[in-house]
């Protein structure tokens, strides 16, 4: 039996399980508005007849998302990964508690901002936390769980939310963060953070606990690797200026911002937040609860296939197909609302909005849902990765807020169909952007990616060369 085979990852899997409970909780919080909005509007609701505004309820979560990465950036390196994760859980508890006791719409809005804090922070903190706790032998496996956990949270809201009361819906959302709060004391601090703070002995103990049964020489080799990485990181101090100090960093920044712009402007923040309301407005004669369940179930199922598709086709091809598929799906979905606006009875065509939204979420889950953040995570050099990803995540979430406000403004002025078609147009524009500017980094080392991004745009004949060809091109100016 080899040394690697003797290692027990039980404690590592326990830690990853607790972190994935947090992912589940932020997933529930993200789509809570889908089943909640119809209940807030129905007669008998304590918010019926008040100044309740659907657009602001959805937008407040996006506002929190914008600020979340900035908050985590302040605390992740100073307090540590574990305390910052505690803050994520605490914000989820505060959000659910405020929703439960809210008697005014203003409290509802504040509650959604706290939920947005948690989601935005989770995108920045939790992937780093899991990666720093993981052994390279199982890192890929552990990195595949967060998407599934978050998608499961979405599915629970879509499946259970429409059939329970408003208060029970809130109670369901508070279960996961409370469980995580009770279990967080079992989580270790990241050994990388401990080394950075000069707590070498505790870091060594943490690695030993995470790799139970590993021989001392294996533990020592990993500890030495971590110490070297921390020392290199300290030598290459992060600065905002470093993001603009090289061609590779600048190119990584605008490709990442472009990808996340098209991701958030694809319509996904809005559609996931008001799924049930959209089916109601589409005048489907099928149960909207069933439609929402099918939508959530396919999102979960197809999302799990995303990593398999990426392994076979890389990042770029699924992104292009995803954008084109979402363009077609939303074009049909918008046409359905256009015919309704003309006075046509579309209740006999209920399969049209259902099938178009199901196709939309399937294309999204196969491409942009998985690959966009993966590409962003690979483009930045190590010394600017944390700063670069935090900045692009905040910009991406700002685009989510923009997409929500833009939809409601267009809906008020021109109708729902024009709001949906705006997202369709954005997805159409994502196709050439992805094809011409986004590199397929699958299978490339981090060094190769940086070399590729550092190459000039043009060959000696002043012709633009596709980004992947720049890496292997012999004649460059």
| DSSP states of 434-460 | HHHH----TT--HHHHHHHHHS-SBBT
Instruction: Express each pLDDT in 350-401 by its tens digit.
Output: 788 889 998 999 899 888 877 777 777 777 776 677 777 778 888 888 998 8
Query: What pLDDT, on the 0 to 100 scale, is given for residue 252?
Result: 84
Query: What pLDDT, on the 0 to 100 scale, is given for residue 388?
Result: 79
Residue 4 has pLDDT above 90, yes or no: no
Q: Please report, rounded to a whole number, the percentage of residues in the chain having pLDDT higher than 70.
A: 86
Query: What pLDDT, on the 0 to 100 scale, is given for residue 179?
Result: 95
Highest mean pLDDT, choosing among 67-81, 323-337, 394-408: 323-337
Instruction: Express each pLDDT in 121-156 by its tens digit.
Output: 988 888 888 878 887 777 666 776 777 888 889 989
Predicted TM-score (pTM) of the model is 0.82
Which of 341-345, 383-387, 400-404, 461-465 is predicted least confidently?
Answer: 461-465
Residue 331 has pLDDT above 90, yes or no: yes
Give, to the nearest 10 degrees, the angle between helix 81-101 and helix 105-133. Answer: 160
CATH 1.20.1250.20 applies to domain 239-456? yes
Residues 6 or more apart in contact with residue 362 via CB below 8 angstroms: 298, 299, 302, 325
Per-residue pLDDT averaged across 86-97, rounded?
Answer: 94
Enumerate the β-bridge partners of residue 476. Answer: 459
pLDDT band for 165, please (50, 70, 90 cuts): confident
More confident of the two residues 434 and 124 = 434
Task: Give me the residue spans of the domains in the chain.
Answer: 8-187, 239-456
Among 256, 301, 305, 269, CA closest to 119: 269
Query: What pLDDT, on the 0 to 100 scale, is given for residue 474?
Result: 34
Residue 439 has pLDDT above 90, yes or no: no
Query: What pLDDT, on the 0 to 100 scale, is given for residue 173?
Result: 92
pLDDT band for 459, please (50, 70, 90 cuts): very low
Per-residue pLDDT averaged across 18-42, rounded?
Answer: 89
- Using CA atoms, how far apart are residues 309 and 294, in angstroms rounded to an integer? 22
- Using CA atoms, how far apart are residues 361 and 329, in angstroms rounded to an integer? 9
- Is there a contact between 294 and 455 (Cβ–Cβ < 8 Å)? no
φ and ψ at 8, to 5 degrees?
-100, 125
Query: Percentages helix, strand, coil for the chain, rounded to the nearest 5?
Result: 80, 0, 20
Query: What pLDDT, on the 0 to 100 scale, is given for residue 329?
Result: 94
Query: What pLDDT, on the 0 to 100 scale, is given for residue 235?
Result: 67
Query: What pLDDT, on the 0 to 100 scale, is given for residue 447?
Result: 66
Residue 181 has pLDDT above 90, yes or no: yes
Quick count: other Cβ atoms within 10 Å of Cβ 308?
A: 12
More confident of the two residues 87 and 103 = 87
Name the CATH superfamily for 8-187: MFS general substrate transporter like domains (1.20.1250.20)
Domain 8-187 matches domain 239-456 at the CATH topology level: yes
Per-residue pLDDT averaged across 36-47, rounded?
Answer: 77
In eight-state DSSP terms, residue 246 is S
Query: What pLDDT, on the 0 to 100 scale, is given for residue 112?
Result: 93
Residue 159 has pLDDT above 80, yes or no: yes
Query: What pLDDT, on the 0 to 100 scale, is given for residue 360?
Result: 92
Query: What pLDDT, on the 0 to 100 scale, is given for residue 476?
Result: 29
Cα dihedral 36→37→42→44 (10° resolution): 50
More confident of the two residues 149 and 178 = 178
- Using CA atoms, how far apart are residues 72 and 169, in angstroms rounded to an integer? 28
Query: What pLDDT, on the 0 to 100 scale, is given for residue 249?
Result: 80
Residues 6 or more apart in contact with residue 471 via CB below 8 angstroms: 448, 451, 452, 455
């Amino acid at each position: 039996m080899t040394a690697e085979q003797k290692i027990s990852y039980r404690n590592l899997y326990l830690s990853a399980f607790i972190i994935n409970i947090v992912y589940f909780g932020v997933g529930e919080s993200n789509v809570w508005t889908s089943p909640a909005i119809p209940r807030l509007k129905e007669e008998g609701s304590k918010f019926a007849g008040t100044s309740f505004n659907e657009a602001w309820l959805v937008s407040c979560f996006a506002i929190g998302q914008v600020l979340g990465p900035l908050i985590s950036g302040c605390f992740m390196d100073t307090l540590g990964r574990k305390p910052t994760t505690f803050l994520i859980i605490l914000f989820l508890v505060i959000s659910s508690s405020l929703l439960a006791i809210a008697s005014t719409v203003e409290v509802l809005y504040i509650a959604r901002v706290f939920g947005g804090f948690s989601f935005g922070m989770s995108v920045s903190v939790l992937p780093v936390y899991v990666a720093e706790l993981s052994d390279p032998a199982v890192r890929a496996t552990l990195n595949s769980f967060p998407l599934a956990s978050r998608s499961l949270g979405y599915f629970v809201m879509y499946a259970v939310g429409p059939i329970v009361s408003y208060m029970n819906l809130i109670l369901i959302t508070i279960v996961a963060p409370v469980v995580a709060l009770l279990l967080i004391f079992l989580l270790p601090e990241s050994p990388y953070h401990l080394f950075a703070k000069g707590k070498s002995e505790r870091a060594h103990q943490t690695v030993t606990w995470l790799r139970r049964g590993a021989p001392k020489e294996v533990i020592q080799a990993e500890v030495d690797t971590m110490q070297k990485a921390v020392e290199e990181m300290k030598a290459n101090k992060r600065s905002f200026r470093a993001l603009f100090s090289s061609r590779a960093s600048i190119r990584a920044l605008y490709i990442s911002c472009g990808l996340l712009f098209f991701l958030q402007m694809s319509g996904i923040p809005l559609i996931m937040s008001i799924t049930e309301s959209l089916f109601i407005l589409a005048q489907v004669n099928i149960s909207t609860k069933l439609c929402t369940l099918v939508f959530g179930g396919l999102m979960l199922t197809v999302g799990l296939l995303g990593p398999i598709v990426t392994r076979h086709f890389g990042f770029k091809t699924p992104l292009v197909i995803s954008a084109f598929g979402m363009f077609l799906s939303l074009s049909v979905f918008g046409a359905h609302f256009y015919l309704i606006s003309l006075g046509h009875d579309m209740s006999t065509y209920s399969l049209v909005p259902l099938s178009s939204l199901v196709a939309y979420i399937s294309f999204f889950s196969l491409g942009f849902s998985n690959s966009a953040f993966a590409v962003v995570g690979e483009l930045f050099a190590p010394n600017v990765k944390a700063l670069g990803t935090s900045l692009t995540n905040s910009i991406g979430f700002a685009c989510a807020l923009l997409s929500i406000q833009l939809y409601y403004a267009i809906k008020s002025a021109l109708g729902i169909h024009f709001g949906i078609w705006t997202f369709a147009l954005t997805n159409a524009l994502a196709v050439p952007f992805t094809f011409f500017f986004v590199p397929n980094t699958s299978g490339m080392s981090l060094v190769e990616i940086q070399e590729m991004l550092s190459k000039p745009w043009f060959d000696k004949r002043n012709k633009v060369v596709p980004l992947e060809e720049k890496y292997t091109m012999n004649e460059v100016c």
